[in-house]
Amino acid sequence: MAENRQEELKKVRNIGIMAHIDAGKTTTTERILYYSGRSHNIGEVHEGAATMDWMEQEKERGITITSAATTVFWKGNKINIIDTPGHVDFTVEVERSLRVLDGSVALFCSVSGVEPQSETVWRQADKYKVPRIAFVNKMDRMGADFFEAVHTMKEKLHANAIPVQCPIGAESEFKGMVDLVRMKALYFHDETLGAKWDEADIPEDLVTKCREMRQHLLEELATIDEENESFMHKVLEDPDSLSEEEIHAAIRKGVCTNRFNPVLCGSAFKNKGVQQLLDAVVAWMPSPVDRGRIRATDLDTEEEIFLEPSDQEPLAALVFKIMTDPYVGRLSYMRIYSGMLTKGTALLNTTKGGEERVSRLLEMHANKREEKEEFHTGDIAACIGLKKATTGDTLCSPKRPVLLEKMEFPEPVISMAIEPKSKADREKLSVALSSLSMEDPTFRVSTNEETGQTIIAGMGELHLEILHDRMKREFGVESNVGKPEVAYKETITVPAGAQTKFVKQSGGRGQYAHVELEIRPNEKGKGNEVVSKIVGGVIPKEYIQPTIKGIEEGLTTGILAGYGLVDMVVEIVFGSFHEVDSSEMAFKICGSMALREAAKKAKPVILEPIMQVDVTTPESHMGDVIGDLNRRRGQIAGQESVKGSAHISAKVPLREMFGYSTVLRSTTSGRGTYVMSPSHFEQVPVKIQEEIVKKLG
């Protein structure tokens, strides 16, 4: 039985579809659902009928906001697909999906090639070492150029992108493609919506080109699998003697080891090339078995261990997404790395501590669901009944407590005040905010202590706009929001120290704590580090943790304008205690006071978020666009011209970017577009710092 399951596991593929906004991710997924028999009609994005874009906001805007999961079967293989958003404000959706996938299909537009967001998602996939196949879509569009798109992949992404197909024609003349492994031409029947195609000989005008491309492909494969000497020998001596199986095995090895990115082509909208893409996923993408053992920490021994992808092992799963479903309540999506998940099982949440119980298990198809009794290793499951679990938590069998590698999320860069319209909405607002922040780790909710305002923070204006819209539609909350504000940070520029005593005598038992701190700037982007250097028990062990807790709380409010302190090293170096009067509370308060005292001496400064801004504009407007970015304190990082369009890359403070879309439209007569993503934090100029402090002072 166990052997059968391992064989079945080899036929599982967990893949994501990732790309820049508008490259055709959802359209491609819709075709996959249609050809695999999952849906009987093709939903179109532009008609607001796509299966995977099921949220109202997605239908209205024609964009994907939340990653949707579905399962299809193709030639006896089970493929779990996650369709991810392309818009940069929802980058967390891509991040958490990639963390649990075994492979990804990267989509590129044949006209635009590699776009800014394509680079972002490619870097995210590099971070998690996810194997990738590339699909150059929209081959039927005006200006389609397959070879230029492949060139941009090599140049901008440093990908080892090698075509395994050669397109036949382009733009309105795009008819099909040549399979370079089999050296056959494929022509699609339009009347069958691409479900049928003819195989024929390669058109005469392409024979020489296809032979050259095939030779290049084989030579590249020979360098990837250096151990396979017979393959290398055949490539050099007699390439025609290689069987299809041998070539497929070499491509698969190259993809699974992340050394090779095969490039296919097609037009999803015109139903050409999607089945071949499915064949490639099944033939070349890794199964959970190929991805091998998973790194984890054994909590009993604190040592690093490796989990085998097998049903026979104890359960270990990672929660990668939380959703609130109007019918069934809270859904927790998880990827099972080892063991089996059965309905009614008690699980250990090793991230939060404590037990969780699974009341129901569902297999999701976008927002439709199917009840299941159990899930196996390699599956993506949706659970009902988990109370504490949030994104990034590890759930495992109580028999073997393990902790899987954590997920990291970017810091929010934009915030705004929100308030309920009436008293009746107050309660509903708090429920909505808590649900949405549970779902989305990049959405933060806090209260401004001075004004009592509720502040929401996120990754961009669109991100907060969508969340505000969801509150109204899904939770029935009427609320007003303030103007978007920049989420600043504070840090220190020089080392400093403080010696603080917290002493209170008020009848009966007093309070006593004495803490000495040293603080210094940390490396940029490194975050805060709080360490205890106490020796000899000058502060007893039981008071160290409360002191650290007090310091950490103190770091959430800055000195100049109350923004959180970042990139600091805080060391507890000395202190003293009183046998009777000292308590955990006293040391916690003293830790927070000492931090404030030290930070005041350490020349604090305000940091502002700097955005990576990528603008595409007609060349004739390039000078105006650059001039405008310079006025916004932008630093131009690069510019290039491609086919009459100029691409400008710049680093610009977020503060200067509000309302930019309107200005860009009027500057470029409505033809310019831009994408913006958080880059880093940088010190604000002195004049602006004074302005911020004055405003909040």
Least-confidence region, from 217-231, 536-550, 647-661: 217-231
Whole-number average pLDDT of the chain = 83
pLDDT band at 237 (very low <50, low <70, confident <90, very high): confident
Mean pLDDT of 498-510: 81
CB 576 within 8 A of CB 539: yes
pLDDT band at 207 (very low <50, low <70, confident <90, very high): very high
Considering 95-99, 118-122, 389-393, 680-684, the range whose residues carry the highest mean pLDDT is 680-684
> Which structure tokens are listed for 134?
């590339």
End-to-end CA separation in angstroms for the chain: 70
pLDDT at 58 over 60: no
pLDDT given at position 68: 56
pLDDT given at position 507: 62
Phi and psi at 456, nearest 5°, equal: -110, 140
DSSP, res 171:
G
Question: Of 455, 416, 379, which Cα lies nearest the Cα of 102?
Answer: 379
For the entire predicted model, the pTM comes to: 0.68
pLDDT band at 483 (very low <50, low <70, confident <90, very high): confident
CB 491 within 8 A of CB 565: yes
Higher pLDDT, 445 or 262: 262
pLDDT in tens, 316-327: 888 877 776 666
Question: Of 122, 654, 69, 94, which Cα lies nearest the Cα of 409?
Answer: 94
CB 85 within 8 A of CB 121: no
What is the percent of the chain where pLDDT is above 90? 28
Taking each helix axis from N to C end, the angle separating 423-439 and 461-475, rounded to the nearest 10 degrees, works out to 120
pLDDT at 422 over 90: no
> Which structure tokens are listed for 144?
């389609």
> Which structure tokens are listed for 581?
């009067």
pLDDT given at position 83: 61
CA–CA distance, 689 with 597 (Å, rounded to integer): 21
Report the DSSP pairing between strands 346-349 and 355-357.
Answer: antiparallel
Q: Which residues contact 316 (CB under 8 A, 6 or more apart)?
A: 294, 296, 307, 336, 337, 338, 339, 394, 395, 396, 397, 400, 402, 404
- Other Cβ atoms within 10 Å of 646 Cβ, number: 20
CA–CA distance, 312 with 255 (Å, rounded to integer): 28
Least-confidence region, from 85-89, 131-135, 177-181: 85-89
Q: Which residue shows structure tokens 């009427």?
A: 478
CB 280 within 8 A of CB 264: yes
pLDDT given at position 466: 77
> Which structure tokens are listed for 329?
């309540």
CA–CA distance, 163 with 206 (Å, rounded to integer): 15
Least-confidence region, from 2-16, 284-298, 466-480, 651-665: 2-16
pLDDT given at position 22: 67
Cα within 13 Å of Cα(77), Cβ side? 22
